[in-house]
Structure 1
Amino acid sequence: MSNGPHAKLAELGLALPEVASPLASYVPAVQSGQHVYVSGQLPIVEGKLLATGKVGNGVSADQAKDLAQRCALNALAAIDSLVGLENIVKIVKLTGFVASAPGFTGQPGVVNGASELFGAVFGEAGRHARSAVGVAELPLDAPVEVEVIVEVA
């Protein structure tokens, strides 16, 4: 299993974090049939939000891209705790929300932080449909939030 997703994460110098605790009445991920739906994940590490504010005003696009990668890593942790990463057949859909300053239009580049992680870990199975949406506000004043749908075996 040296080519599995955990090994790929290790090659990238990454490890799965603990599953982030929900901020309200929901679960981090739920399985329905052959799909796992992951609730919106913020860039939280050890219970602490890594940054706050708007992308394009106080948070750079490059910083936000790194934060989107962290959101994706948190999503993978939620999936792993529910069904195991090795059971992922396909990353189906990624939706990235970017708290954007007026005039900021680089949402696709920010959400690439998550997309590129999925590609690096899962190869062709990591290629997915996607939306990158600019929003006025996100929970806790987070700059980025990511939600994912995956197909599992």
Structure 2
Amino acid sequence: MAAESVTPWRENLAKLGTTLPPVTAPVAAYVPALRSGSLVYTSGQLPFVDGKLVAEGKVGAEVTVEAAAEAARLCALNALAAVHDLVGLDEVVRIVKVVGFVASAPGFGDQPVVINGASQFLGAVFGDAGAHARSAVGVSELPRNTPVEVELIAEVR
């Protein structure tokens, strides 16, 4: 018998007009998610949709803040898919931590605004259980010239 979901994540995803995608295959030697005790750690997720990046380049140059925030939302969605594939989102008690990396043009300083795309999405999916600690880090380069990469830690039952 399945345990009752802590949050109505399925309904919330439907309200947002989205569903969980298939887990993106790793592009190197790692696994998409790993459980240790009551925590699930995801690897950094890129903004892939149907196997293709939705944006490329640096935020503040080739990529707008708005496009990068949408890319961060997609990264968070892909991270949730990795968690779901490993343990099922019904097991999520809360999102504990989000780390977002933003490929930043020189002088760009709105990394927190970009990563809000992921944070606000997680809040919309999990409600209060989606509130989390966070880091938003500007970097000079990310894999595959993506503008954003997001990883998360989820507490699970």
Among candidates 32, 39, 47, match of residue 35 of structure 1: 39
**CA deviation after TM superposition for structure 1 residue 47, in Å:** 1.1
Structure with the higher strand share, 1 or 2: 1
Matched, 1:74 2:74: no
User: What residue in structure 2 maps to residue 120 of structure 1?
Assistant: 124
Among candidates 132, 135, 141, match of residue 139 of structure 2: 135
Corresponding pairs, count: 153
Query: 1: distance between equivalents of 2:143 and 2:62?
Result: 17
User: What residue in structure 2 maps to residue 22 of structure 1?
Assistant: 26
User: What residue in structure 2 maps to residue 11 of structure 1?
Assistant: 15
Gaps of 5+ in 1: none
Among candidates 85, 90, 107, match of residue 111 of structure 2: 107
Gaps of 5+ in 2: none
**CA deviation after TM superposition for structure 1 residue 7, in Å:** 1.3
**Aligned-partner residue type, residue 90 of structure 2:** E
User: What residue in structure 1 maps to residue 97 of structure 2?
Assistant: 93
User: What's the secondary structure of 2:43's corresponding residue?
Assistant: strand
Matched, 1:49 2:58: no
Among candidates 148, 153, 156, match of residue 149 of structure 1: 153
User: What's the secondary structure of 1:41's corresponding residue?
Assistant: coil
**Aligned-partner residue type, residue 71 of structure 1:** C
Aligned-CA RMSD value: 1.1
**CA deviation after TM superposition for structure 1 residue 6, in Å:** 1.3
User: What's the secondary structure of 1:113's corresponding residue?
Assistant: helix
Query: 1: distance between equivalents of 2:44 and 2:56?
Result: 16
**Aligned-partner residue type, residue 134 of structure 2:** R
Deviations 1:20-69 (CA, angstroms, capped at 9, x unpaired) = 01010000000010000000000011111111100000100000000000
Query: 2: distance between equivalents of 1:136 and 1:6?
Result: 36
Structure 1 runs (4+) deviating above 3 angstroms are: none
TM-score, normalized by length of structure 2? 0.95
% same residue: 61
Query: 1: distance between equivalents of 2:125 and 2:27?
Result: 28
